[in-house]
Amino acid sequence: MKKVTVLLSTYNGEKFLDEQLESLQAQTDVDLHVLVRDDGSKDATHDILRKWENKMNLSWYAAPNVGSTKSFMELLCKAPESDYYAFCDQDDIWLPEKLKVAVEKLDELPTKRKLYCSNLYLYIKEHKQGLMRPSAINFNKHSSLIRSIATGCTCVFDSELRELIINNMPSNIHMHDLWLFHTAMFLGTVYYDDNSYILYRQHGKNQIGAKRTFISKWKNRLKSIKTISKQHHREEEAKEMLRCWGNILSDEDKQIISYVAHYKKRFSNKLHLIFNKKYQTLFWDKIRIIFGVL
């Protein structure tokens, strides 16, 4: 069986953590190891982790609160040698075959630096809802710079992809899973599974949740207007990609990324992002591009 190290960052997770760890323990056909970094919890999370380290192959440590992105990046650096790694949130439920399916799909890929990610079942008020994304989702390098299809809790990746990341550590990124996705898109391989093997819990306190309906999406966008002047995540991420990988990217990939990193330098760059169909910009994306808040 392949060794899979699950990287779990906890923070005041007492309400759902037991159920998540039970689902990890139930994973089939993998050599499972769990590494937990607690990000400054004030509740009973430590007691739960102490209990579980005697019930499964789990190790954990407590650390100061730095937020989920830095916490997961630290876990990446501290992780032991494994065939594969998986990001894990504290409040979801994994179906027993989740890691088994991911490992099988990754083993089939002939390349290295590979990432598996998947769809999700929305889990609301203890009931499984429909899939979060439609089937047959379309993505490419261009569109990956505008939106990600790789939700962190679905991500499973090989040791070569981890090694590339920790040897070229970014200094400023918005989300750990977005950086993982971009690394695999431009310097490796991404496999997206239309199926789901995870119950993606929505409880109102998710750091990043699913905005499923048209109305809820626009409500969220209108709320974000208050801080929109500070929202340059896509632009900053693209600049960081060029900084970290400038000497290993192909000239073509540098150009694809540069249109996002430097879209405000020329109006023609904005037009390129808006009208080049490969970037798959939606109406809201086009507005952000025009006003320089991508």
73-96 pLDDT tens trace? 999 999 999 999 999 999 999 999
Residues 193 and 230 in one domain: no
Specify whether 13 is located in the same domain as 140: yes
Q: Is residue 50 part of a domain?
A: yes
Considering only 231-240, 246-255, 267-276, which range has the smallest mean pLDDT? 231-240
Q: Does any domain span residue 175?
A: yes
Cα separation, 201 vs 214, whole angstroms = 19
Mean predicted confidence (pLDDT) in 240-247: 96
pLDDT tens, 146-162?
Answer: 999 999 999 999 999 99
Same structural domain for residues 173 and 265? no
The answer to the question of residue 210 being in a domain is: no
Percent of the chain past pLDDT 70, that is, above it, reads 90
pLDDT value for 228: 55
Q: What number is the average pLDDT over the span 35-58?
A: 97
∠65-159-34 over CA atoms, to 5°?
Answer: 50
Cβ neighbours of 46 (radius 10 Å) = 15
Residue closest to 162 by CA, chosen among 113, 117, 118: 113
Enumerate the β-bridge partners of residue 198. Answer: 94
Query: Are 151 and 240 part of one and the same domain?
Result: no
Verify that 162 and 245 share a domain, yes or no: no
Predicted confidence (pLDDT) at residue 217 exceeds the cutoff of 90: no
In a domain, 207, yes or no: no
Mean residue pLDDT across the chain: 92
Helix (H, G, I), strand (E, B) or coil at 32: strand
Question: 207 pLDDT band (50/70/90 cuts)?
Answer: very low
Contact 132, 120 (CB under 8 A): yes
pLDDT tops 80 at residue 43: yes
pLDDT at 128: 85
> Count of domains in the chain?
2
Cα pseudo-dihedral 145, 102, 67, 229, rounded to 10: 20
Q: Give the pLDDT band (50/70/90) at residue 219.
A: low
Question: pLDDT tier at 200 (50, 70, 90 boundaries)?
Answer: very high
Tell whether 37 and 125 lie within a shared domain. yes
Residue 221 phi/psi, 5° resolution? -65, -40
Last residue of a domain, one of 152, 167, 202: 202
Range of 279's domain? 215-291
Amino acid 71 reads S
Q: Are residues 29 and 168 in the same domain?
A: yes
Choice between 208 and 97, residue whose per-residue pLDDT is larger: 97
Q: What's the angle, vertex CA 245, arms to CA 87 and CA 110, rounded to 5?
A: 60
Query: Which tens digit of pLDDT belongs to each residue from 118-137?
Result: 999 999 988 888 999 988 88
Give 169 or 125, the one with higher predicted confidence.
169
Cβ-contact 76, 162 below 8 angstroms: yes
Residue 208 has pLDDT above 50, yes or no: no
Residue 210 has pLDDT above 80, yes or no: no
Give the model confidence (pLDDT) of 170-188 as tens digits.
998 999 999 999 999 999 9
Q: What is the dihedral of CA 207, 200, 117, 35, to 10 degrees?
A: 70
Are 179 and 256 members of one domain? Answer: no
d(CA 177, CA 48): 26
Check which CATH number belongs to the domain holding 171 and give it: 3.90.550.10
Judge if 195 and 223 occupy the same domain: no
The answer to whether 168 and 244 have CB atoms below 8 angstroms apart is yes
In a domain, 209, yes or no: no
Domain boundary among 180, 202, 224: 202
CA distance 205 to 195: 25
